[in-house]
Amino acid sequence: MANTDFPNLGYGGQIEYLAMADGTRIRTAYWPTKENSAGIIVFVNGHREFMEKYTEFFSEILARNYALYALDNRGQGLSDRLLDERLKSHIESFDVFSNDLNEFISKKVISDCRAQEIPIYLVAHSMGGHICLRYLHDFPGVVSKAVIMAPMIEFNLGYGVIAAVLKYLIRFASRKGFAEKFAFGQKNPPSRSHSSIKQKFLTHDDQRYALEEKIIKSFPDLYVGGATYGWLNAALDSIETIETPGYLDEITIPILTVLAGKDTVVNSKTSLELLSGRKNFKVITIDGARHEIYREIDQYREQLWQEIDDFLAVE
C-alpha cells in the first residue's frame, strides 16, 4: 500500500537535505540498514520526478529487507531548482547529475554502519538509468549490481530525418541564447486534459496514475514542467557520451535492463541494440508495458519484480 501523507514518504524514512560541492541543496531520503538487511539499494528517479511517486515501489523494496537511499535529482522535486522559474526543467550538463549521485553515495550511503558488509545496488528509472550508467563509468568500485528500468539511453524524437531536424533545432536554439527557454511543446501546466494524454504514454493503471495527481495537488512545489532547450541539449551531449565506442565496455558489474514493450517516451530499440550481447548486461522486455513499469498494472509489475528478485539473488 502506498503512503498518502504527502510530502511525507512514510515507512520510517528520514529526510535530509545535502549540500553539494557547488552549494546546491539536494533532498534525500533514507531507510538505514538493520541487522537482517540483505543489501543497500540506492534509487535514482527519472526526469521531472520526485520520490513521492515511488512510495509503493519503495515499500516493496523495504519489505524485501533492503536498506534504501533515494534522492530528488537537482532541478526537480524539492531539491533546489536551477532557474528562478520553478516550472522549467533545466540543466547545463548531465555530468552534474553523476557527480551529485557520487556525492550522495559518498556522504550518506557509505557512512551506513553496514555499508562495508553487504552489497550496494543501484536501481533506477528512465533518466535515472542514464545517470546510473554515467556514474558507474566515472566512479567504479562501489556498486555491486544495477537495475535500470526503461533507461533513457536515447529519448524518443522519432527516426530518420525528423529526429535529425529536431536535434539540429535543439542544438541551434541552445547556441543562440534560448537555452533557458522552454523547448517546443514543453510549456505545459498540470491540467486534466494534459494529464489524460500523458497517462497514455506512461501506464495502463488509472489508480496508480491518479495518485501522482493527488500528490501534486497536495504539494504543488513537487511539480516541475517541461524541459528547456538547455536540458535537451545537455541530454544529447550525454547520450553521445554513453554511445561513444568503448564507453560501456568500461562498466563491468552485472546490470539488469528492463525495457517496456510499449514505450513511446524513450527509444527502446536503441537500448536493445546498444546493450544486448554485452556479457554483463541482461536485457529483457516486458511486452505490453508502458514506460513507467514500476507503476503499471499488476500483471507487468509482477514480471518486473520477478526479474529484479532473481537478478539480485544471484551471487
CATH code, 180: 3.40.50.1820
Residue 208 lies in a domain: yes
pLDDT by residue, tens only, the chain of 315 residues:
444 444 567 678 899 999 999 999 999 999 999 999 999 999 999 999 999 999 999 999 999 999 999 999 999 999 999 999 999 999 999 999 999 999 999 999 999 999 999 999 999 999 999 999 999 999 999 999 999 999 999 988 766 677 888 899 999 999 999 999 999 878 766 554 455 557 789 999 999 999 998 899 889 999 999 999 999 999 999 999 999 999 999 999 999 999 999 999 999 999 999 999 999 999 999 999 999 999 999 999 999 999 999 999 976
Domains in the chain, number: 1
Q: How many angstroms separate the CA atoms of 171 and 44, rounded?
A: 27
- Residue 1 domain-assigned (yes or no): no
Q: Is residue 184 part of a domain?
A: yes
Beta strand pairing call for 39-44 and 66-71: parallel
What is d(CA 139, CA 259) in angstroms, rounded to the nearest whole number?
25
Q: What is the DSSP secondary structure assignment for residue 65, as one 8-state letter?
A: T
- Distance between CA 172 and CA 154 in Å, rounded? 19
Read off the amino acid at residue 290: R
Whether 217 is in a domain gets the answer: yes
- Rounded to 5 degrees, φ, ψ at 71 are -150, 155
Q: Compute the distance between CA of residue 270 and CA of residue 275 in angstroms, rounded to an integer.
A: 8
Do 275 and 186 touch, CB atoms closer than 8 A? no
CA atoms of 252 and 144, how far apart (whole Å): 10
* Residue 2 lies inside a defined structural domain of this protein: no
Residues in CB range of 282: below 8 A, 6 or more apart: 254, 255, 256, 257, 311
Residue 42 falls inside a structural domain: yes
Q: pTM for the full model?
A: 0.94
C-beta separation of 121 from 144 below 8 A? yes
Does residue 9 belong to any structural domain of this protein? Answer: no
User: Domain of 58?
Assistant: 14-313
Residue 185 domain flag? yes
> Whose CA is closest to 138, among 92, 109, 101?
101
